[in-house]
Structure 1
Amino acid sequence: MVFALDINQLKCFIAAAETLHFGRAAQSLDMLPASLGRHIKQLEDNLDVRLFQRTTRSVALTEIGTSLLEDARALVTQTEAFESRVRDMRGSENRVLRVGAIDSAAAGLVPQFLAILREEAPEIAVQIIEQKTIRLLPRLLSGGLDIAFCRPPDQRDPRIQFRTLFFETAVVALRHDHPLADSSLISIADLAEEPLIVPDRRSRPHSHDLTIKLFLDAGLTARVAQVADEKQTIVNLVAEGTGLAIVPRWTARFQVSGVRFVPLDLPVGATRSKLILAAAWTRGTRDPVRDAFLDLLDRHLETLEATA
């Protein structure tokens, strides 16, 4: 014998078994008692068994009904889990993953990784939102972003999960005609008397503190000539001769005319933590598209890190 089970019939059976009252069971399922009774009768006919002993005054489970109750509950649970998974997968097919990125990641990491996505996971559609870390993290918590590439703050919100990816390389941005422009390496000592352009600490604490701490570690004081907010603005100021700047290597991808980027010769043990790049997302959330995105990123992380 082949049974064509109806999940709604099983739900009616479970509700009636738990309440032993067709009226209350029907009310819990937001349906009429007559409809509930009809579903249970159809289930009994389909199984060719009696699940309830019914009189005008009482309802009781039969021995078979008692035996089948836990199996019915398990079937409903499994079916609902299956339906939920299908809904998640169906929703993932047309969903756009909203990815936040700080400027250096938007210039360096994101274009390279998007090319990998197009090649290996073209079904993942991505929208890029470029912002500072202090703007990206609130958007994660509000649901406006699914994942962000950012600098982890010193005080981390426990609602956000951070995964360290790697440390970006620091370079010196300077005009093409600067005496140091043709150097293969530049040390902090070489910059002791140079005017520097640094980011505003309120909006970019990591980048600001990187420059200041490198000078302090070398026993020097940074000569701050100009404070600017955006990396693009900083590089443009370098091109105009306002000063030099210590920036992430990916900033060179801005390709501002007249600016050279020379590697910074950092002493052993020099701080790199200020240029940490991490992936961040809201803790405890389930997202198969985001997880697939991260899995692919992990597989290519070594290659991407080599360019940072």
Structure 2
Amino acid sequence: MRWIELRMEIAQIKCFVAAADALHFGRAAQALGMLPASLGRQIRMLEDGLDTRLFFRTTRSVALTPAGAAVLEDMRALVAQADALERRVRDLGRDAAPVLRVGAIDSAAAGLMPPLLRLLRKAHPGIEVRLVEQKTIHLLPRLLRGGLDIAFCRPPETRDPRLVFRTLFHESAVVALPEGHPLADRASVTVADLADAPLIVPDRRSRPHSHDLTIKLFLDAGLTARIAQVAEEKHTIVSLVATGTGLAIVPRWTARIAVPGVRFVPLEMPPSAAHGRLVLAAAWTRGTRDARRDALLTVLEEHLKTIADSA
């Protein structure tokens, strides 16, 4: 029980240090892969436990109190010591771990992992893999907690220095349409073709890359996206497309989610539209050693072009 309490207290201190560095709860929460409300709650719990205000907060600004400024470096040192201890414990137990724990966002789970796992089994039949499919905002904290060995995800705008991010390739975008839609039989479509179409987009708080992909493509074309529905999961989005609720711009590998009544049509974009392709990266905890993870990355590197061509 005491260990659980200690982990919670360290999490609160990490939230304090991140907020003190950014002096902005939203940016600090993004850096930690959590929601601003959750970060604010952790800091309030720390302040309540210490019976001391650490921040002056208004609707427009965040500033350290004298007490907060006085303890900042001590708190930073505690976080560094806790991180070093966690890395040491993970390294000691890693060689005895029976499986390689791999996290993947939904499109990577559908498109990257099946061929990669086949290749890994052929090259290293003794390596067992446990796959966890989640959003990036959930995968990165699991990496930091030691619950995953590697994750295939979207790199966040603000990257935690405790993690290594290795860009692999970009996923192409396609448009999901109902089978009976006038554009469903086209070889490809443009953003202008979608100008008056109702759109289904993911919630930006949980899927910022996919959400921004749609919005930016329309803005660059001088158009405004007509958002008809916000949905959380890719499977839900594709299912809503099948009902005629709207169209959706999704990663190409999403087409491997089998939903009857939906067609996926390539989306044409000018070569300069780099944001029309979603970055996929591998991430792991900095300073850790793992022979199984390195074996997976070596296999991926050997076959990277072939896999990237299918994305």
Question: When the two structures are superposed, what TM-score results if normalisation uses the length of structure 1?
Answer: 0.69
* Matched AA of 1:123: G
**In 2, Cα distance between the equivalents of 1:163 and 1:90?**
25
Alignment deviations for residues 85-112 of structure 1 (CA, whole Å, 9 cap, x no partner): xxx9997486200000000000110011
Within 5 A, what are the aligned runs for 1:51-130? 92=95, 95-130=98-133
Given that residues 169 and 248 in structure 1 are in contact (C-alpha distance below 8 angstroms), is that contact kept between their aligned partners in structure 2?
A: yes
Identity of aligned residues (%): 69
* Matched AA of 1:190: D
1:164 aligns with 2:139: no
Could you say if the C-alpha distance between residues 282 and 138 of structure 1 is closer, same or farther in structure 2, counting changes exceeding 3 Å? same
**In 1, Cα distance between the equivalents of 2:138 and 2:109?**
15
* Matched AA of 1:225: A
* Matched AA of 2:294: D
Q: Which residue of 2 is the match for residue 236 of structure 1?
A: 239
DSSP 3-state at the match of 2:307 = helix
Given that residues 206 and 274 in structure 1 are in contact (C-alpha distance below 8 angstroms), is that contact kept between their aligned partners in structure 2?
A: no
DSSP 3-state at the match of 1:272 = helix
* Matched AA of 1:133: T
Alignment deviations for residues 139-163 of structure 1 (CA, whole Å, 9 cap, x no partner): 0000000000000000000000000
Alignment deviations for residues 160-197 of structure 1 (CA, whole Å, 9 cap, x no partner): 00000000010000001000000001000000000000
Which one of the candidate residues 182, 192, 210 is aligned to 1:189?
A: 192
DSSP 3-state at the match of 2:303 = helix
Which one of the candidate residues 204, 207, 213 is aligned to 1:204?
A: 207
Q: Which residue of 1 is the match for residue 300 of structure 2?
A: 297
Q: Which residue of 2 is the match for residue 135 of structure 1?
A: 138
Q: Which residue of 2 is the match for residue 30 of structure 1?
A: none
**In 1, Cα distance between the equivalents of 2:161 and 2:276?**
20
Q: Which residue of 2 is the match for residue 21 of structure 1?
A: none
DSSP 3-state at the match of 1:260 = strand
Given that residues 167 and 273 in structure 1 are in contact (C-alpha distance below 8 angstroms), is that contact kept between their aligned partners in structure 2?
A: no
Within 5 A, what are the aligned runs for 1:240-279? 240-272=243-275, 275-279=278-282
**In 2, Cα distance between the equivalents of 1:241 and 1:273?**
24
Coordinate RMSD, CA, aligned: 1.7
Shifted more, 148-157 versus 289-298: the winner is 289-298
Q: Which residue of 1 is the match for residue 149 of structure 2?
A: 146
Aligned length: 221
Unmatched tracts of structure 1, length 5 or more? 1-87
Unmatched tracts of structure 2, length 5 or more? 1-90
Given that residues 174 and 243 in structure 1 are in contact (C-alpha distance below 8 angstroms), is that contact kept between their aligned partners in structure 2?
A: yes
Could you say if the C-alpha distance between residues 273 and 285 of structure 1 is closer, same or farther in structure 2, counting changes exceeding 3 Å? farther
DSSP 3-state at the match of 2:299 = helix
* Matched AA of 2:223: L
**In 2, Cα distance between the equivalents of 1:90 and 1:221?**
52
Shifted more, 288-297 versus 158-167: the winner is 288-297
Could you say if the C-alpha distance between residues 154 and 89 of structure 1 is closer, same or farther in structure 2, counting changes exceeding 3 Å? closer
Q: Which residue of 2 is the match for residue 175 of structure 1?
A: 178
Shifted more, 185-194 versus 109-118: the winner is 109-118
**In 1, Cα distance between the equivalents of 2:258 and 2:123?**
28
Given that residues 166 and 278 in structure 1 are in contact (C-alpha distance below 8 angstroms), is that contact kept between their aligned partners in structure 2?
A: yes
